[in-house]
């Protein structure tokens, strides 16, 4: 068996320990005589799996009792619509556009009401987080929306926007569980799990209880009403059972690793190895303003497209997969999520140094 270092932005690397455990339980989950893939979502044994996953997540994130945890389908992209459908009572909301995912959410909201662009970093190819200390937030806005970590451009909010008392909704798909968060500062925190938590197929949404009501926009499909999902404890219909089971294992792994405080330290250490090298390299450079750098997604370029392509190709041959940048931005991107071991980042930087010394010489 050969495992590569997988720097994919998503679906992404999972902890090996979790994969091994899942393999061990594949044919017979805890004496049930069947795989988790084969069991009823209404069975006692599955009920324990989903309940335990929620309990572990609540413990990890220190989720207050007045927040519900929902396990949903449709990806983060469907949730872009669920936010206005469930929250746009006044049909008006503010959006901060810091990249492609924020922009898609903003455009989706326009289907349902007036979405106002409060700030944007499009002027510099989304390479920074705009100043959000004094935005033009009006009293009639139902909420303020951000994408907290921009997977494609590699930026992250270091401070939450001043929402002037309005509810904050955050897409945390690519920084979920990468560091501690104060849940009470948000009205809704949500993300697709396939970046930093588990396999594709599930969105976890942490929603303040008072926002879960029957008062939704007319035409909202039953499945997309948070109240319906909350009343059924995420079992209104068949949930993505296996994905939730793996997420539960990842939560246990995170607890064993020391929780989110420890993950933050580790993630900072991993990111520093890469950023420090990018800052001193004569060939590679990071594309993001220093104050806005993500700990999870690190885009970089050589400034020469051919050399970028050569790097991606040679890196792949050396066992470093998925380093090509997003198709809309080019260059390279290393996603170094929780499950990427520090050895993977060290090995990548070593390889980059070798590539630099070879290619600087050849270009001289």
Ligand X SMILES: *Cc1c(COP(=O)(O)O)cnc(C)c1O
Query: What are the residues binding ligand X (CB under 6 A)?
Result: 10, 75-77, 101, 147, 151, 171, 173-174, 192, 195
Q: Are 203 and 79 in contact (CB under 8 A)?
A: yes
Q: How far is the CB of 235 from ligand X (least distance, A)?
A: 21
**Alpha helical stretches, state H, the chain:** 16-24, 44-61, 75-87, 100-110, 226-231, 241-256, 259-280, 305-317, 342-363
Q: How far is the CB of 346 from ligand X (least distance, A)?
A: 25
Q: Which residue is nearest to ligand X (CB)?
A: 75
Query: 104 or 164, CB closer to ligand X?
Result: 104
Does the active-site annotation cover 226? no
Q: Give the torsion sign (CA, 262, 263, 264, 270).
A: positive
> How far, in Å, CA of 98 to CA of 120, rounded?
6
Query: 176 or 300, CB closer to ligand X?
Result: 176
Query: 32 or 73, CB closer to ligand X?
Result: 73
Q: Are strands 203-208 and 188-192 parallel, antiparallel or unpaired?
A: antiparallel
Side-chain half-sphere of 135: how many Cα atoms within 13 Å? 28
Q: How far is the CB of 87 from ligand X (least distance, A)?
A: 17
Catalytic residue among 68, 101, 156, 166: 101
Q: How many of the other CB atoms lie within 10 Å of CB of 171?
A: 28
Q: How far is the CB of 326 from ligand X (least distance, A)?
A: 10
Catalytic residue among 56, 142, 171, 308: 171
Does the active-site annotation cover 253? no
Query: 39 or 170, CB closer to ligand X?
Result: 170
Does the active-site annotation cover 101? yes
Query: 116 or 152, CB closer to ligand X?
Result: 152
Q: Which residues contact 168 (CB under 8 A, 6 or more apart)?
A: 143, 144, 145, 146, 160, 161, 185, 186, 187, 188
Q: Which two tokens stand for residue 14?
A: 């999972």
Q: How far is the CB of 14 from ligand X (least distance, A)?
A: 16
Residues designated as active site: 101, 171, 195
């Amino acid at each position: 068996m050969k495992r590569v270092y997988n720097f994919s932005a998503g679906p992404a690397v999972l902890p090996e320990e979790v994969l091994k455990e899942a393999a061990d339980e594949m044919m017979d989950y805890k004496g049930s005589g069947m795989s988790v893939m084969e069991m009823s979502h209404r069975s006692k044994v599955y009920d324990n799996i989903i309940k335990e996953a929620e309990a572990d997540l609540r413990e990890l994130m220190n989720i207050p009792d007045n927040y519900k945890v929902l396990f949903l389908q449709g990806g983060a992209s469907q949730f872009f619509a669920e936010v206005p459908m469930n929250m746009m009572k006044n049909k008006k909301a503010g959006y901060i556009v810091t990249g492609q995912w924020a922009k898609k959410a903003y455009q989706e909201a326009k289907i349902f009401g007036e979405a106002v662009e409060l700030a944007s970093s499009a002027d510099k190819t989304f390479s920074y987080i705009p100043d959000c200390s004094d935005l033009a937030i009006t009293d009639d806005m139902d909420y303020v929306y951000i994408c907290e970590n921009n997977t494609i451009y590699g930026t992250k909010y270091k401070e939450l926007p001043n929402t002037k008392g309005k509810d904050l909704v955050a897409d945390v798909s690519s920084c979920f569980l990468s560091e501690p968060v104060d849940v009470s500062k948000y009205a809704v925190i949500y993300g697709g799990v396939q970046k930093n938590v588990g396999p594709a197929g599930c969105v976890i949404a942490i929603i303040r209880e008072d926002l879960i009501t029957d008062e939704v926009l007319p035409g909202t499909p039953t499945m997309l009403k948070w109240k319906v999902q909350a009343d059924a404890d995420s079992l209104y219909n068949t949930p993505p059972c296996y994905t939730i089971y793996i997420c539960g294992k990842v939560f246990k792994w995170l607890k064993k690793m020391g929780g989110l405080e420890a993950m933050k330290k580790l993630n900072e250490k991993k990111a520093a190895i890469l950023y420090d090298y990018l800052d001193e390299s004569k060939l590679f450079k990071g594309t993001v303003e220093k104050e806005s750098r993500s700990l999870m997604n690190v885009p970089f370029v050589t400034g020469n497209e051919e050399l970028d392509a050569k790097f991606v190709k040679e890196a792949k041959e050396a066992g470093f997969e998925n380093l090509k940048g997003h198709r809309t931005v080019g260059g390279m991107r290393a996603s170094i999520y929780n499950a990427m071991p520090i050895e993977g980042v060290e090995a990548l930087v070593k390889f980059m140094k070798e590539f630099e010394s070879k290619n600087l010489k050849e270009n001289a």
